[in-house]
Amino acid sequence: MARFVAHQVIVFVTLLLVAIQLVTLVALNWAVSENARESVRKEVEVGRRIFARVMEDRTQQLTTAASVLASDFGLRQALMSSDHATIVSALNNHAARIRAAKMMLIGLDRKVLGETAAGGNGEHTLFPYPRLIEDAERKGAASAIVLIEHAPFQLVVVPVLAPVPVAWVMVAFSVDTKLAKDLGLLTGLDVSFATWVRDRGWNVAATTLPTPATRTLLGALGPPAGTTAPPVAANLLGADFQLASSVLGREDDGAVVAILQSSLRDAVARFDALRVILLVLAAFSLCATVAGSLLIARSISRPVSALAEFARRMERGDYDHGPPETRSDELGELAASFNRMRLAIAAREQQIKSMALQDALTGLPNRALFNERLQQALGIARRLAQPVSVLLIDLNRFKEVNDTLGHHVGDRLLCEVADRLRMVLERASDTPARLGGDEFAVLLPAASATMAEAAARKILLTFAAPVVVEGRQLDVSGSIGIATFPEHGDDPNVLMSRADAAMYVAKRKRLGYARYDASYDTETENHGRLSLTGELRQAIARNELVLYYQPRLDLASGEITGVEALVRWQHPERGFVPPDQFIPFAEQTGCIRDITQWVIGRAFEQGARWRAAGLALAVSINLSARDLLGPELPRRFAELLASHGASPHWFLLEITESAIVDDPVRALETVTRLHEMGFSLSIDDFGTGYSSLAQLKRLPVAELKIDKSFVMDMARDPDDMTIVRSVIDLAHNMGLSVVAEGVETDEVRELLYDMGCDYLQGYHICKPLPAEQLEGWLARGAAQHCNKGEIT
């Protein structure tokens, strides 16, 4: 125990030393920061006074220099000559002599007699700063800092005496970076001259700051505020800078402000050497303490090392040997605890291994155990030349149960399926398993394909009885694929893949079960699907997608008033790929959002082009369920409208009933936002989904589009005709217009006309065409074709 106490004391002393050093360093750093802050504040205050004094001296010097020039005989002689060229020449000579930026000669009537910068163009114009002359009349000379063409200048006005004032001389000196640097050397601060103009805001005209710091200062000054120059706050640049400002000149539309600043970081950096020394001393003392602690602790470290080695063996999974024997002290007690932990971990790990091979919901073997047993069964079958069969089972319409009744009902259904599989399999060697979701599998060792088919029929027979969950009767049905070793493959993956292919055939053809056949090799089919999906992701970048437009006929006017934008894929190797082959993949993989954005952009661009050409066509655009449930959709629409200069009133957005059913709340929110933006909305393929009238009446839609499955055969099928008439009546009673798609005969067209349908769309009017061909079709007299019922 004494050894542990000694070790604890050593650790405590070490930690205490570290804590004291940290507190000392923090206190020192605080003292340094405060001292630096006070020092910087005093430096800025002294610098401000020096700046003010230097500016006064500069004004006096510039006034003296200007007075000397004003008394120059040559300047007075030029004035008396009244020759403009002579006056300008004299002004240029004097300006060059004293390095003035500009000079003006002003008459007693306040009109400019000549100036250096304008080359004489300002002659006889009024002097723009009359208050300077008024001050000079009172004081004998006057000076001010003003903005000339948004740049700061210091102006000095003195009289031309002969011996009474006969004119005034204005000398302008640039407030530039050289002046800022000179003042910076005298004050020891960074000096900036900032200008403010009402219509332009702030600008840094001259500064000693580097470019990044200049941008920071300009950003802190911010945009113009109000009609007068906003004050420069002392905390403008934050706590890391001390700042003083002085307004050097102020006018109605502008101002010149001097900003003096000093960095607190630079002041604190002066103490870096002291910090380094203290850190070295702290590190040295800490190392000495640690070294002493290690020497003392070494005598008690051997038992602990043995226990650590035991812990590492447990980490590697070695639970066969216990910890080393120790005395009956604290280490011995710790070793005993480790031994109890070893036994408990071994028991739990064995339990975890069992759980890892079992499906938690149904209690059936999971995919890992099924694959393991399949591998074992194939190994035995190879040695004994026996067959092995696998059944792959997929439940039908399970997603509808989950989505409609909830996951808890779906879980109960899966458990019932597992129980029925256990009951129907008679041999102890048969292994039912749940692979995931609603997918089950059955391993039948030493079973031929004929025996596997018999087992499949038994399974389907036991599935025929409905499952009762929470008082609801649920029909259970499945599709089963069968593959047999060695007939259909000698590898577990190949065998499962071919059972999967057979299952998809059974599901597609509604056969109940199907035995694998080489004609529907799933590997080839899946490879084609994956290849097509990968190529679809690149189709947009490669410009392989094109838009076709199918005209819409207004039955009331007999004119084409709109078109529907339809995407087509022109594959460079496969040729034309129909939409029903790639749109489902796009929906499943999420590519549909990229495709929709491409379609929207092209449709907006084409709609704007047609409007500019005087062709007023409303363009319909289809939105998928994934698009409608995305919260960013309205923002993307707004961006694309702005980029193409299009109006939302030119477009009609078609949404499907399934998109509304999937998430009515989010769908309604998105649809409402699109409607508020100005888009017209239509329910596409109406009658094929499951939307209720309660949902429909809440949607801000303008029309219903009857699915072509009801329209195409309505002339021969009374039920279809009744559905179409009911939809038209329903829509009109709700104040909605109706579009019938799939119109392919004149007989159907006449029936829809008699029923009061508003718009027609289909091959009887015109097939989908590229934009150029559509424009030619319209130019050739589309209305006549429509009235005659000509199929294009």
Q: What pLDDT digit, counting tens, does each position of 476-487 carry?
A: 889 999 999 999
On whether both 320 and 465 belong to a single domain, the answer is no
**Which residues constitute the domain of residue 317?**
272-354
Tracing tokens 């027609």 back to the chain, one arrives at 760
Residue type at position 625: A
Taking the C-alpha atoms of residue 774 and residue 569, their distance in angstroms, rounded to an integer, is: 18
pLDDT value of position 2: 42
777 or 197, which is more confident: 777
Helix count and strand count (H, E) for the chain: 28, 25
On whether both 177 and 139 belong to a single domain, the answer is yes
Helix (H) or strand (E) holding 449: helix 449-463
The CA-atom distances, in angstroms, between 739 and each of 304, 657, 658 are 84, 15, 19
The residue-averaged pLDDT of 379-383 equals: 92
CATH number at 426 reads: 3.30.70.270
Judge whether 17 lies within some domain.
no
Confidence of residue 789 (pLDDT cuts 50, 70, 90): very low
pLDDT value of position 752: 94
Identify the top-confidence range among 61-75, 230-244, 427-441.
427-441
Taking the C-alpha atoms of residue 726 and residue 733, their distance in angstroms, rounded to an integer, is: 10
pLDDT value of position 690: 46
Taking the C-alpha atoms of residue 496 and residue 126, their distance in angstroms, rounded to an integer, is: 98
Tracing tokens 């009017």 back to the chain, one arrives at 765
On whether both 196 and 238 belong to a single domain, the answer is yes
Residue type at position 570: Q
The residue-averaged pLDDT of 12-27 equals: 76
Best CA proximity match to 662, nearest among 639, 632, 695: 695
Q: What pLDDT digit, counting tens, does each position of 680-717 carry?
A: 999 887 765 545 566 677 788 899 998 888 898 899 88
Judge whether 31 lies within some domain.
no
Q: What pLDDT digit, counting tens, does each position of 179-190 carry?
A: 888 888 887 788
Full DSSP string of 461-507:
HHHTSPEEETTEEE---EEEEEEEETTS-SSHHHHHHHHHHHHHHHH
pTM: 0.41
Taking the C-alpha atoms of residue 531 and residue 26, their distance in angstroms, rounded to an integer, is: 63
How high does pLDDT run on average in the chain?
A: 81
On whether both 284 and 238 belong to a single domain, the answer is no
Taking the C-alpha atoms of residue 692 and residue 690, their distance in angstroms, rounded to an integer, is: 6
Q: What pLDDT digit, counting tens, does each position of 255-289 carry?
A: 888 888 887 776 666 666 676 777 777 777 777 77
Confidence of residue 522 (pLDDT cuts 50, 70, 90): very low
Taking the C-alpha atoms of residue 708 and residue 94, their distance in angstroms, rounded to an integer, is: 92
On whether both 279 and 378 belong to a single domain, the answer is no
pLDDT value of position 621: 94
Taking the C-alpha atoms of residue 508 and residue 161, their distance in angstroms, rounded to an integer, is: 111
Q: Tell me: pLDDT of 791 over 50.
A: no
- Looking at the structure of the chain, the number of domains it has is 4
Q: Tell me: pLDDT of 361 over 70.
A: yes
Q: What pLDDT digit, counting tens, does each position of 658-674 carry?
A: 666 656 777 788 888 99
**Half-sphere exposure at residue 172, Cβ-oriented, CA atoms within 13 angstroms:** 20
The residue-averaged pLDDT of 533-542 equals: 76
On whether both 244 and 329 belong to a single domain, the answer is no
Q: What pLDDT digit, counting tens, does each position of 65-112 carry?
A: 888 777 777 677 777 777 777 778 878 888 788 788 888 888 888 888
Taking the C-alpha atoms of residue 146 and residue 175, their distance in angstroms, rounded to an integer, is: 10
Q: What pLDDT digit, counting tens, does each position of 572-612 carry?
A: 877 777 787 777 767 766 677 888 889 999 999 999 999 99
Taking the C-alpha atoms of residue 537 and residue 530, their distance in angstroms, rounded to an integer, is: 11
Q: What pLDDT digit, counting tens, does each position of 454-482 carry?
A: 999 999 999 888 888 877 888 788 999 99
Full DSSP string of 719-762:
HHHHHHHHHHHHHHHTT-EEEEE---SHHHHHHHHHHT--EEES
- 336: tokens are 């005993």
Taking the C-alpha atoms of residue 785 and residue 774, their distance in angstroms, rounded to an integer, is: 13
Taking the C-alpha atoms of residue 167 and residue 90, their distance in angstroms, rounded to an integer, is: 14
For residue 767, the SS3 value is: coil
On whether both 217 and 83 belong to a single domain, the answer is yes
On whether both 546 and 495 belong to a single domain, the answer is no
Pairing mode, if any, of strands 142-148 and 680-686?
Answer: unpaired
Taking the C-alpha atoms of residue 734 and residue 754, their distance in angstroms, rounded to an integer, is: 19
Identify the top-confidence range among 35-49, 198-212, 346-360, 582-596.
198-212
Q: Tell me: pLDDT of 792 over 70.
A: no
Judge whether 372 lies within some domain.
yes
Terminal-to-terminal C-alpha distance of the chain: 101
On whether both 491 and 552 belong to a single domain, the answer is no
On whether both 236 and 133 belong to a single domain, the answer is yes
pLDDT value of position 533: 63
Q: Tell me: pLDDT of 541 over 50.
A: yes
